[in-house]
Chains A and B, each alone.
Chain A
Amino acid sequence: MDLYLVEAIINGILLGGVLALLALGLNLIFGVIDVVWIAYADIVMCGMYVIYFLYASYGVPLPLAFLIAIVAMAGFGMLVHILIISPVLNSAPINQLLATGGLLFFLQSFATLLFGTDFRNIGVRLPVLEVGSVYISFSRLIAFGVGLVGAIVLYVFLKRTYIGTAIRAIAQDRDIIGLMGVDQRRIYLVTSAIGGALAGLAACLLALQYDVHPYIGNTFGPVIFMICVLGGLGNMIGGFIASFIISQIISIGGYYSSTELAYVFAFGFFIVLMFIRPRGLFAR
């Protein structure tokens, strides 16, 4: 078998790890709060800037910078909920989309104003591993591993803890959750914090591979939405699987043609599937 194809498949799997992490965060928020955070990828951008300035400008050790970014984005997620989502919680869905869409433009423009449109890189060069004759980027391997561990930790949290059970329950019947002694507002805040933290974690993994600039959210934001819809909005397992399907299409498509065409293939696949299964691949 063609070694470059093997490399493309492996890269596809590795790319899927980060996408899965972001799809999980978006699906969690949608499933629980019933609001789509259009600006989700731009929260990742904010996290990447936090890491860049802490590490490259202020010399904070990288692991500490990562930790601060995750915590800061968790706090940012709560802030987004309190300032933007909470006031429109009972409004029409279109108003909620406009509100979080407005946040997207706000964040991108604000970042441009503050930092300009320069591409900045934290300048960490991780080695490339050679397995047999196949080359695997170490930073991608880390991204995949951490993405997978993050997903497992989230699964265990949702399955084993009282708060996690409440988060799953609220997604199934929000009107009577108060009768269980659960404060709905508190669960929404916790969920927003987890969503923010997942965006922060993704920022750590992406900062190792990509330059940060104000519009980096646009390069993977649409892909994440596509993945979530493909897996069935709010369906976390569906989104997880869809991440790996889409990342394979992008990676293998990129091998046979070009990266740009690969995205065309991915979106084409998505459009065709929306005709066949409008509620997503794994609709219940």
Chain B
Amino acid sequence: MIPTALEFQLLLPVLIIAAGILISLIIEMFSSKSEKILPWFSIALFVSTAYYSLLTVGHERIIFNSMLAAGGTANIFFFVFTFGAAIVTLISIDYIKKIGMYYGEYYILLQSAVLGMMLMANAQDLVMIFMGLEQMSVCFYILAGFNRKKIKSNEAAMKYFLLGAFATGFIVYGIALMYGVAQTMSIPAIANGLLIYSDNIIFVAGLLLFIIGFSFKIAAVPFHMWVPDVYQGSPTSITALMSTGGKAAAFSSLLIIFTPLFATTQSTLFQPYLVVIATLSMLLGSIVAIAQTDLKRMLAYSSISHAGYILIGVAAGSELGIASVIFYLSAYTFMNLGTFGIISMIENKDEGNLSLNDYSGLGNKKPMLAALLAIFMFALAGIPPFAGFFGKYYVFIAAIESNLTWLAIVGVLSSVISIYFYLRVVVVMYFQKDENILNVEDSSPALLGIMISALLVIVMGIAPGSIINLISNFVK
């Protein structure tokens, strides 16, 4: 069937980014000033896509021969990805100049990764999910090793590539088994026959492999081994996107698979699995983060524990659960982007100034940055009135309503543990005297990006009700 003009119009967020990649390639080819043009072009691209996604959020439809979805939750994810990527671009402008790793393809790969994330979030077909995942992952493999003169960056890229390719293998094998039983790749068609298929051991094995593959991508324990090394070794701006957009995209694909599971009576099929990895991720992430002195490594473990909290919402398996997952992901995206933005500003060009001790006395030296970092730390720890608190609140409510009260209790305990290492940063900044001079190059674009994320974190913390209502409208 020939796609109609309306379908193209609804797919416009994806098409804008795709066209933007091609235009960026042409700019990079012919312009000697591409280093100055491309970041601002990318930001314009991302912001316009984010705006258009929110504008058309109400037009929910299955398009392109039921390969893709438009509107609804997909567009909310589009907004998170593109707006997050715009902030990452703002952070990158001065950061990559400081590190000395401008090789032209940086922004193009960034746009390409975002395109992959968007395809993951609006796929209605297992092949589309796989294609989006590969597009995103391959871009991340390259970007992780983008600081190619540094051995750590190379190590991160290699580890990420090997383990990521391994996880992709699980996903493909899972898709193959599901296709073998269902004889279709279309997710709505599989959802229709789910009651029959869920008795089939081959189908369940395929689904389990698929979910295991995505557990790698969302960095849940016991599939988390790559996270600390990759997050620490990658350039900070890339870690920012990897830990937020990449994680959100993997969760969006998981939700696409799980939503039909919840809709049938099979919602408890994978609950034991999800509950176990959620518990392990929360506890291991929070406890091991205490021992970290490198800030990026600490945030890597914190990202593992946040994957655990988000999995509580998935395990709850209710409409509120899904809505809370989306809310948590958007809150987490902006909290983490702001934090990594500040880290990238304080980091010096030899990848120094990353340990906790380097932040001592920051409250006196750079009061603005210290105050912003304190906001993000409070938000990540889940202290009101910031977005992190309500993210956790809705997730725990969803768990309690689905009779998983003990899981909510584990979550609360784990966030109590996590308060220690988040607030330690604040303590070091404000209460530890340090006479060493900290050279922080001012970067107004990065500061703008950090302040926008701080604003979003505060807005989501003050008015969470209206946002969760908006999301709940589109969760079926």
**Bind each other:** no
**A interface residues (Cβ-Cβ under 8 A, vs B):** none
